[in-house]
């Protein structure tokens, strides 16, 4: 088992997809990490979000633990936070688990600055039971 501390700043945009649904697209300055999520906003800024974080060696699948929250900020814009469960992925991240927290600010135009922090746990490849010795 390998435990990795994760910390990145991503920037990007939020854009509406349909009534109550938005898509968030973000990347690091080097584009080494890219986030693509879709959120369903229920009421009063409460939302559930899922998507992928494309990182070195593959993709991580993310889904909200509980709900995220988006509130109006003093002076305009909005502040938000959400915690995602890492639910495996592809490549290097195929057997990954963990948690990532996203705290972000969004302006009226939909521009986003996002600070993400968490821990990823990489499990060894599962053993196959049966077959030839």
Q: What pLDDT is stored for residue 133 in this prediction?
A: 47
pLDDT in tens, 91-113: 999 999 999 999 999 999 999 99
> Domain map of the chain by residue range?
2-122
pLDDT in tens, 46-58: 999 999 999 988 9
Residue 18 has pLDDT above 80, yes or no: yes
2-122 CATH pick, 2.40.170, 2.40.350, 3.40.50, 1.10.3470: 2.40.350
Q: Specify the pTM.
A: 0.89
Question: 97: which residues sit within 8 A by CB, 6+ positions away?
Answer: 85, 86, 87, 88, 120, 121, 123
Beta pairing partners, 70 = 80
Q: What pLDDT is stored for residue 130 in this prediction?
A: 56
Question: 133: which residues sit within 8 A by CB, 6+ positions away?
Answer: none
Please spell the DSSP secondary structure of 81-92, one letter per residue.
Answer: EEEEEEEEESGG
CA 17 to CA 118: how far, in whole Å?
28
**Residue 124 confidence class, pLDDT cut points 50, 70, 90:** confident
**Residue 132 confidence class, pLDDT cut points 50, 70, 90:** very low
């Amino acid at each position: 088992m390998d435990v990795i501390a994760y910390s990145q700043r991503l920037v990007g945009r939020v854009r509406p997809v349909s009534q109550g649904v938005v898509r968030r697209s973000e990347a690091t300055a080097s584009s080494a990490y890219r986030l693509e999520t879709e959120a369903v906003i229920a009421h009063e800024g409460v939302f559930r979000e899922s998507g992928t974080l494309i990182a070195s060696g593959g993709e991580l699948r993310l889904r909200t633990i509980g709900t995220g929250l988006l509130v109006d900020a003093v002076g305009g814009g909005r502040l938000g936070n959400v915690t995602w469960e890492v639910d495996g992925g592809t490549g290097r991240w195929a057997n990954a688990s963990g948690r990532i927290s996203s705290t972000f600010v969004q302006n009226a135009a939909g521009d986003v600055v996002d600070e993400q922090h968490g821990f990823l746990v990489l499990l060894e490849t599962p053993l196959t039971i049966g077959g030839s010795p």
